[in-house]
Amino acid sequence: MAGRGDISEASEALRQPQGVLQFRSDQWQVAKEPMQPADDPIFSVNADKVGGIGPGISFAKKMQSLTQDHSDIGLLLCAKGGSGITAWGLEGDLYKETIKRTHQAQRTSHLKGIFIYVGEGDTSSYEAADNWVESFYLLVNGLRYELGNSLPIIFAQLATVSESRRAARTHGFIAWDYLKNLQASVHMEHIAMVTTEDLPLKEDGLHLNTTAQIALGERFALSMLDIINIQKEFNSR
């Protein structure tokens, strides 16, 4: 997901963290917010031009804290705000560019896991929402085929949407709650879902605010560590 939290509300440790890198412009560099480049030819959208705090850096700092390992953690952001999951089909530009950039990053690093937060664009109708689970399975299988069969993948369930935001759209996000139930039905090996329903929104009534973005990153870290520990236990038998 593209970050939308207010940068001015984040601590200096998150805006310019120590020990966190970002793969950008074909190289690793010190991570800083906003991580979403405004001029990205593939992933940029008009609504993302300003950029904002996302969950990536808070995830990295939480992982370092939980593991007491302060080795550098690298992040690669491939996000397009508002895109539905069908936009991430295996023949589409978003998926192909994600694989391309990940392979470039892997030349000098090791991929440890993937985070997915997508669904807003699939809530305009029940028909669109019904495609989500199958499309998600296809996406996960494609990513694992290209990048590693046992990669931990954490995905975020949709949060909430305000009544005023619903009223502002002709479709009213009619399938929002329906899709959340579908997301909760997903079961695959080495995959976990984190909930976001309790996290606060920005004034726009749709996107997570800064506090929520930070909390989401920490939830990603806790869930990722759970999967890693389960894999370690299984492999040690």
**pLDDT tens track for 157-215:** 999 999 999 999 999 999 999 999 999 999 999 999 999 999 999 999 999 999 999 99
Number of H helices, E strands in the chain: 8, 6
**For the chain, what percent of residues have pLDDT higher than 70?**
96
Q: What is the per-residue pLDDT across 85-125, written as a single tens digit (0 to 9) for each?
A: 999 999 999 999 999 999 999 999 999 999 999 999 999 99
Quote the CA–CA distance of 137 and 123 in Å, as a whole number: 18
Mean pLDDT of 3-11: 76
Q: Minimum mean pLDDT among 19-28, 40-49, 216-225: which range?
A: 40-49
pLDDT confidence bin for 2, thresholds 50/70/90: low
Q: Judge whether 2 lies within some domain.
A: no
In total, how many domains does the chain have? Answer: 1
Indicate whether 12 pLDDT > 80.
no
Q: What is the reported pLDDT for 37?
A: 76
Q: Judge whether 1 lies within some domain.
A: no
| Whole-angstrom Cα Rg for the chain | 17
Q: What is the reported pLDDT for 128?
A: 96
pLDDT confidence bin for 47, thresholds 50/70/90: low
Residue, of 39 and 231, whose pLDDT is higher: 231
Domain of residue 133 covers 7-235
The pTM of this model reads 0.93
Q: What is the reported pLDDT for 50?
A: 62
CATH of the domain at 169: 3.40.50.1110
Closest to 57 measured CA to CA, from 31, 79, 37: 31
Q: Judge whether 113 lies within some domain.
A: yes
Indicate whether 15 pLDDT > 80.
no
Q: Judge whether 209 lies within some domain.
A: yes
Nearest 5°: phi and psi at 80?
-130, 105
Q: What is the per-residue pLDDT across 143-161, written as a single tens digit (0 to 9) for each?
A: 999 999 889 999 999 999 9
pLDDT confidence bin for 42, thresholds 50/70/90: confident
Angle (deg, nearest 10), helices 176-184 and 132-147:
50
Q: What is the reported pLDDT for 34?
A: 84
Mean pLDDT of 59-67: 94
Q: Judge whether 62 lies within some domain.
A: yes
Indicate whether 46 pLDDT > 90.
no
Q: Judge whether 185 lies within some domain.
A: yes
CA distances from 73 to 19, 36, 57, 174, 221 (A): 6, 17, 9, 39, 12
Q: Judge whether 64 lies within some domain.
A: yes
Q: What is the reported pLDDT for 195?
A: 98
8 A C-beta contact, residue 73 and residue 20: yes
Q: Judge whether 108 lies within some domain.
A: yes
* Mean pLDDT over the full length of the chain: 91
42 alpha-carbon distance from chain centroid: 17
Q: What is the reported pLDDT for 91?
A: 97
User: Would you call 185 exposed, middle or buried from its count of C-beta atoms within 10 A (0-12, 13-18, 19+)?
Assistant: exposed
pLDDT confidence bin for 26, thresholds 50/70/90: very high
